[in-house]
């Protein structure tokens, strides 16, 4: 009996000891599990912080086709984290992200590559015209990419006949345009989308993008403004349908196509940019008239207009180079170029219309020749005929007769042609452009500058003329 009681006490003691051991083990195991869970949560949270989550921006277009000119535009607020400038004066790196919900597209930036060469030099003409200039796009091939590095740009400026004063003039002009930009992102009081498109092209011509140090915000705001206009008008880019908005749509589309090209090449994203580009270009394709031209009003009719058609063909060249799926693009370009050839005279000059028996309008001859060079190459027969007419008749005297609209085109056609014609033309226009720039970076309206839309317009065209040395890969005539 005593042994039985004693045995029971020993068993109870043993059980109590086992319970203590079990409790201690459970606590230790629980602590270990909590520690492991904490580590896992830390790693998961770290990976989420490091992973880029794309900004979702939506926009609902109004049911009306008209613009609400009185509607206030909320600007996207941005945070900018600056990184060191790449070697050689290349584009500084930025990361820009939207921190507020906005009806206007806001960009998401990722680290751009420090390699500014963008691959192989690629011509703006056909496959047999490698090395031809006037608008080499693609994935910003080496020719255009070299505008993005200060050393390369200055070297190219010297090689093609420019001067350091040309670069100084361009920088001063871009600073002037920066001061004149409205807070909503546009320039001008009338024809806002067209003027904004020209100014944006001038910045892009110097490789200024939303990731640029000095002009990044200016470029960003301009792109956002044009996207906003397009989103409100279902892909059509205009500010007032009562005006000549076909010009505006074409110029703005051209600028946005090049903006999309740079965004893809540098690795930053602007929400709705691709969508707008696709819709805006498709609108151009679908709105070509029966003679292959474009007119002051889209749709129907059979009126020729070389001036309007040239802007649409420049936009379509940019669109071809960004390689989006655009039905009937090639056929549209072919018909558009034929409408220019239809308006060409035996002298080589190109007019508004095949039925107008003049000797060719110099601004329109330059416009037509540039489009033929861009799409067919600088050795195109009709383009060379036009070059002969330009070389014989074009003049530039800032004090007597200097039509910026004419020489925006002629400067490009001349450098594309190269050789003696380019040397002669460059000697005629270069120093006059530099010495007649205003102290604030703008250009005055010279005699003979027909159809000027104001100082910002003059300055944008003049800037594009002085960027011709490096904006695209020029022909050498060799």
Please state the rounded mean pLDDT for residues 392-415. 93
Is the pLDDT at 424 greater than 60? The verdict is yes
pLDDT of 265 strictly over 90? no
Q: What is the CATH number of domain 116-466?
A: 1.50.10.20
> Given a cut of 90, is residue 324 above it in pLDDT?
no
What length does the chain have? 478
Please tell me the distance from the alpha carbon of residue 119 to that of residue 406, in angstroms, as a whole number: 33
Q: Is the pLDDT of residue 93 over 50?
A: no
Burial of 161 (0-12, 13-18, 19+ CB in 10 A): middle
**77 pLDDT exceeds 50?**
no
- Confidence at 316, pLDDT banded by 50, 70, 90: very high
108-152 tens-digit pLDDT? 333 333 222 222 223 333 333 332 233 333 334 444 455 677 888
Report the b/e string of 47-63 with b at 16+ CB within 10 A.
eeeeeeeebebebeeee
Here the tokens at position 352 are 């508004």
The three-class DSSP label of residue 456 is helix
CA 146 – CA 144 distance, rounded (Å):
5
Mean pLDDT (whole number) for 256-266: 92
Considering only 198-207, 208-217, 234-243, 403-412, which range has the smallest mean pLDDT?
234-243
Distance between CA 448 and CA 246 in Å, rounded? 25
Look at residue 353 in the predicted model and tell me its pLDDT. 84
pLDDT at 280 over 50: yes
Report DSSP state, residue 365. Answer: H
455: pLDDT strictly greater than 60: yes
More confident call, 253 vs 477 = 253
Query: What pTM value is reported for the model?
Result: 0.74
Query: Per residue in 160-169, pLDDT tens?
Result: 999 999 999 9
Whether pLDDT at 418 is above 80: yes
Who wins on pLDDT, 30 or 363? 363
> 69-73, 208-212, 237-241: which range is least confident on average?
69-73
Q: Are 67 and 49 in contact (CB under 8 A)?
A: no
What pLDDT, on a 0 to 100 scale, did the predictor assign at position 71? 36
Choose from 37-46, 115-124, 259-268, 428-437 the range with maximum mean pLDDT: 428-437
Residue 73: the pLDDT is 40
pLDDT exceeding 70 applies to what percent of the chain? 74
The pLDDT > 90 percentage for the chain reads 51
CA distance 183 to 186: 8
| Distance of alpha carbon 8 from alpha carbon 18, whole angstroms | 15
Check residues 405 and 92 and name the one with the higher pLDDT.
Answer: 405
Convert the pLDDT of each residue in 20-72 to its tens digit. Answer: 777 787 788 888 888 888 787 777 665 554 444 343 333 333 333 443 443 33
Residue bearing tokens 């960003």: 220
Q: How do the residues of the chain divide into helix, strand and coil, expressed in percent and rounded to 5?
A: 55, 5, 45
Alpha helices in 211-349, H assignment, sequence order: 216-232, 245-266, 273-286, 306-322, 329-342
Q: In the predicted model, what is the mean pLDDT of the chain?
A: 78
Contact present, 134 and 374 (Cβ < 8 Å): yes
- Cα gap 145→152, rounded to integer Å: 9
- Check residue 124 and give its pLDDT: 33
- Degrees (nearest 5) of the Cα angle 385, 333, 285? 145
């Amino acid at each position: 009996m005593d042994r039985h009681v004693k045995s029971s006490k020993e068993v109870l003691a043993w059980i109590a000891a086992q319970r203590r051991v079990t409790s201690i083990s459970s606590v230790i195991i629980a602590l270990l599990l909590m520690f492991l869970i904490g580590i896992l949560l830390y790693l998961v949270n770290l990976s989420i912080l490091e992973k880029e989550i794309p900004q979702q921006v939506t926009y609902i277009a109004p049911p009306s086709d008209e613009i609400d000119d009185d509607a206030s535009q909320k600007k996207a607020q941005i945070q900018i984290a600056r990184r060191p400038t790449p070697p050689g004066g290349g584009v500084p790196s930025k990361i820009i992200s939207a921190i507020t919900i906005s009806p206007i597209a806001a960009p998401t930036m990722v680290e751009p590559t420090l390699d500014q060469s963008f691959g192989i030099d690629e011509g703006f003409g056909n496959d047999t015209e490698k090395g031809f200039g006037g608008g080499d796009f693609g994935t910003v091939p080496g020719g255009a990419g070299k505008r993005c590095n200060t050393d390369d740009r200055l070297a190219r400026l010297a090689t093609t006949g420019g001067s350091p004063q040309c670069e100084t003039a361009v920088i001063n002009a871009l600073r002037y345009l920066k001061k004149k930009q409205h807070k909503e992102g546009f320039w001008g009081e009338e024809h806002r989308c067209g003027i904004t498109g020209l100014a944006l092209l001038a910045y892009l011509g110097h490789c200024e993008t939303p990731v640029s140090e000095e002009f990044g915000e200016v470029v960003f705001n301009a792109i956002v403004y044009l996207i906003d206009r397009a989103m409100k008008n279902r892909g059509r880019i205009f500010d007032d349908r009562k005006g000549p908005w076909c010009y505006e749509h074409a110029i703005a589309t051209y600028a946005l196509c090049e903006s999309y090209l740079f965004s893809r090449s540098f690795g930053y994203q602007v929400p709705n940019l691709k969508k707008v580009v696709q819709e805006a270009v498709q609108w151009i394709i679908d709105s070509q008239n029966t003679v292959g031209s474009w007119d002051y009003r889209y749709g129907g009719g059979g009126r020729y207009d070389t001036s309007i058609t040239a802007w649409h063909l420049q936009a379509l060249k940019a669109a071809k180079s960004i390689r989006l799926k655009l039905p009937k693009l090639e056929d549209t370009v072919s018909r558009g170029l034929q409408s220019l050839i239809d308006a060409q005279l035996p002298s080589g000059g190109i007019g508004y219309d095949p039925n107008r028996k003049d000797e060719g309008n110099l601004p329109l001859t330059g416009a037509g020749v540039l489009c033929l060079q861009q799409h067919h190459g600088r050795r195109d027969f009709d383009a060379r005929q036009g070059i002969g007419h330009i070389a014989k008749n074009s003049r530039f005297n800032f004090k007597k007769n200097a039509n910026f609209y004419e020489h925006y085109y002629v400067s490009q056609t001349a450098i594309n042609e190269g050789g003696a014609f380019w040397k002669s033309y460059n000697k005629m226009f270069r120093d006059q452009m530099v010495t007649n720039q205003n102290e604030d970076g703008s250009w005055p309206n010279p005699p003979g500058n027909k159809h000027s839309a104001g100082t910002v317009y003059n300055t944008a065209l003049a800037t594009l003329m002085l960027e011709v040395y490096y904006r695209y890969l020029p022909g050498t005539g060799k």
